[in-house]
Amino acid sequence: MTVRSAVRWAATHGAMRLAIKAQVRRGNPDAEVLSDPAVREDPYGHYERLRTGAPFAGGAFARVSVHHDVCTDVLRSDDFGVIGGDRADTLPAVLRTALRLAGPRPSIGPIDPPSMLAVDPPEHTRYRRLVSRAFTARAVAHLRERTGQIAAELLDELERDAAGGQPVDLVARYASLLPVTVISEMLGVPVAMREQFLAWGDGATPSLDIGLSWSTYRSVERNLAELDSWFHGHLRRLRREPGEDLLSQLAGLADDDGSGLTERELVATAALVFGAGFETTVNLIGNGTALLFANPDQRRLLADDPSLWPNAVDEMLRVESPVQRTGRRVRRDTTVHGVQLREGDLVLLGLAGANRDPEVFADPHRFDVTRANARDHVAFSSGIHFCLGAALARMEGEVALRALFERFPDLSPAGAGTRRSTIILRGYESLPVTLGRPVAGERPAVPAGPAATSP
Ligand code: HEM
């Protein structure tokens, strides 16, 4: 097993590490972002260097675009499909052969087929249809009140932890716990296991990245295998004793005669929806908090006019996008903004760079909670893979951040936060804060209002 893993790593991430290093020596800005965590602390200057190439710049492996119109056109076009699998396409034939001999990884990652993120229609349409009803704006509106209660309970605990003015880690004690609790309740997985899920999630998320070290790759495989095996067991239990939750419904559909989901499809769908449900929103809450610390004038605007919160959340997603990039593969020869692309070519779409495109957003690096077109960002992607959980993430971000800042108006940083080292996901590993005095008397009510709808 270790030998097969080692071959899989060497043929993919190991080979990519060498290719990235070679591109760094040539001064390629995309390769510098991929290889250097210090560059990723503030990658926006590098994205501006990529912007000088239009419609595409030369990336570390493939063409890359940080132009809003190009990204949107590619994501909405059916001339493009997902990359899927081990991203072996960029490899020389000898490495592709090694990879074939090593066989696929036994457990399924979020970007391995049959995950919905890694398949094209008709499979994609089938998987997405099965789960989409649970995530409509209307369904999410019903969860708003419960999300407010969860936020209030977590803030009570945070206040106890911070007794006597002690600093607390906002990510560990709030930003990560809120989304994992909400998605656990939605899917019917045991909330008591949330710390374990967070640990598995943190261990598995580098699976989205490229050029992993051998030790990170091993840790990803271990965490994915444990999560996978837990889900298999849990879904077997739900088949015997179904509840009212989404996973019980899905498990009830599963059989192998083609009418429902196969066991593999079921686990891939469940694990993707679950993992995506908490590994991304944590970054919205952490990034949003840091943005408000850095921009006290914007914080004051929100305190004076809370109706600005939904727009502020979109502005946070735009300025500090939790998912920085995605990629697509050309399905048939095509032309994009005058550039001819051949079947099989890869293109990378810098969502975070597109969200600072001056053609779309005036003064794009400025964080402005009143920005009229903040919602035009592509932080949730575009086209058929547009984030299934966008309405949920917007609602959670708004409820969580508003409850936090209204309960603790003097909330302030207690030292520098630490960023996650991941490439695709951007967020904080830890964010130490001091709470200050909570508002006296009645706690602010759960923020009211309809859930944000997806475009
Ligand atoms: C701030 C939080 C979030 C961000 C920034 C985000 C971002 C994204 C992006 C960029 C994609 C598409 C990637 C691509 O086109 O290749 C995506 C897809 C997806 N997201 Fe989210 N997401 C967030 C929260 C959530 C939540 C809370 C869920 C909960 C269910 C979720 C579930 C999914 C799923 C299932 C997909 C795959 C959709 C498909 O392939 O059709 N996401 N998300």
- pLDDT, tens digit, 9 for 90 and up, residues 289-302: 999 999 999 999 99
The full DSSP string for 44-61 is HHHHHHHHTSSS-EE-SS
Distance 448 CA to ligand 1 centre (A): 24
For residue 227, give every residue at least 6 positions away whose Cβ sits within 8 Å of its Cβ, in sequence order, or none: 107, 197, 200, 201, 204, 271, 275
452 falls within a domain:
no
**Residue 373 falls within a domain, yes or no?**
yes
Beta bridge partner(s), residue 335:
340
User: Quick one: which of 399, 406, 396 has its CA closest to 447?
Assistant: 399
CB of 423 within 6 A of ligand 1: the answer is no
Residue 257 lies in a domain: yes
pLDDT of residue 258: 57
Indicate whether 415 belongs to any domain: yes
Establish whether residue 130 lines the binding site of ligand 1, counting it when its CB lies within 6 angstroms of any ligand atom: no
Q: For 122-131, 144-153, 239-248, 435-444, which range has the lowest pLDDT when averaged over its residues?
A: 435-444
The predicted-structure confidence for 86-111, as pLDDT tens digits, reads as follows 455 556 666 666 666 666 666 777 87
Q: What is the pTM of this model?
A: 0.93
> From CA 292, how far away is CA 385, in angstroms rounded?
30
Minimal-distance CA residue to ligand 1 atom 5 = 322
Bridge partner list, 430: 418
246 assigned to some structural domain: yes
CATH number for the domain spanning 74: value is: 1.10.630.10
Whether residue 113 lies inside any domain: the answer is yes
- Residue 403 counted as domain residue: yes
The residue segments making up the domain with residue 367 are 2-434
**Res 356 pLDDT > 80:** yes
Between 256 and 51, the more confident residue is 51
Query: Is 440 part of any domain?
Result: no
Q: Distance between CA atoms of 267 and 270, rounded to whole angstroms? A: 5
Our count of domains for the chain comes to 1
Q: What average pLDDT does the chain have?
A: 90
CA distance 347 to 79: 12
Smallest CA separation from ligand 1 atom 18, residue: 387
Q: Does an H or E element contain 433, and which?
A: strand 432-434
